[in-house]
Structure 1
Amino acid sequence: MGNLSEEPAVVVAMGVPGCGKPATGILLAQRLKVPFLDADELHPAANRAKMTAGRPLTEDDRQPWLMAVSA
Structure 2
Amino acid sequence: MNVRLASAQLATQFHRPLRFGRLWRGHELALRAFQVVLILFLAVFGARLIAHGIALASQAIARLIS
TM-score (norm 1): 0.22
Higher RCO (CA 8 Å, separation ≥ 6 residues): 1
TM-score (norm 2): 0.23
* Structure number with bigger Rg: 2
